[in-house]
Amino acid sequence: MVQGSEENGGAPLLEPEERAEALALVRSSVEILVREGRRQDPPPGTSLSLRRSAAFVTLSLNGRLRGCIGVLESFGALDDTLVHCALAAAAEDRRFPPVSLSELPELRYEISLLSPLRRTRNPGEVEVGRHGVLLQARGRQGLLLPQVPLEYGWDRETYLDHACRKAGLPQGAWKWPDTRLWLFAAEVFGDAPSTK
């Protein structure tokens, strides 16, 4: 699945060869961490080093989430951001133990490059499959990527309720007057699903 961001008229941020390069980079970063216990530095001089984007890296195993970590603002070159997110998804996602050696052959990788966040006061603006959401209320926050509601067949209200749950808030908290909501688009691409 590849979709462009709203910020660039729907055009992909990366060319096909850059997407392949980005996927190879996150894959090798995780494999080197798991096999050798060290962090890989991105190769110098690639086009990814000239790009900037907020990003998430999602790992899955046998069609199920295995780790997902990202950053909401670019903090440097895209290649560094992707390595950071890939390593964190593999070893620091508190929902899962670190990725093991035996899991590497079946691990699948997905990258989401995020547009800048856009604040909205109207939850009716949320378009399922187009917008990711960041919801904040009472010192808590929950974020869901735009592909998540499509994977589960959620409508807008269910999607927003799950963002509340992710924030540790009750369902319907998105309706509270003090809740803040941001929307973003994403360019999403990844490995082909496993045929097993």
- What distance in Å separates the CA atoms of residue 113 and residue 155, rounded to the nearest whole number? 23
Domains of the chain: 6-115+186-190 (3.30.700.20), 118-184 (3.30.1490.150)
Q: Is the pTM of this model over 0.85?
A: yes
**194 has a pLDDT exceeding 70:** no
pLDDT of residue 45: 85
Mean residue pLDDT across the chain: 92
Starting at the edge strand that comes first in sequence, how are the strands of the sheet with 180-184 ordered? Answer: 118-120, 180-184, 132-137, 140-144
Please, which pLDDT band fits residue 12 given cuts at 50, 70 and 90?
low
pLDDT tens string 89-138? 999 999 999 999 999 999 999 999 999 999 999 999 999 999 999 999 99
pLDDT in tens, 37-66: 999 899 888 899 999 999 999 999 999 999
Whether 2 has a pLDDT exceeding 50, the answer reads no
SS3 content of the chain, % helix, strand, coil (to 5): 35, 25, 40
Q: Which residues, other chains included, contact 110 with Cβ-Cβ below 8 Å and sequence gap of 6+?
A: 57, 58, 59, 60, 188, 189, 190, 191
CA distance 172 to 76: 36
CB neighbourhood size of 65 (10 A) = 15
Q: How far apart are CA 191 and CA 76, in angstroms?
A: 25
Across the strands, what pairs with 71? Answer: 55
pLDDT, tens digit, 9 for 90 and up, residues 145-175: 999 999 999 999 999 999 999 999 999 999 9
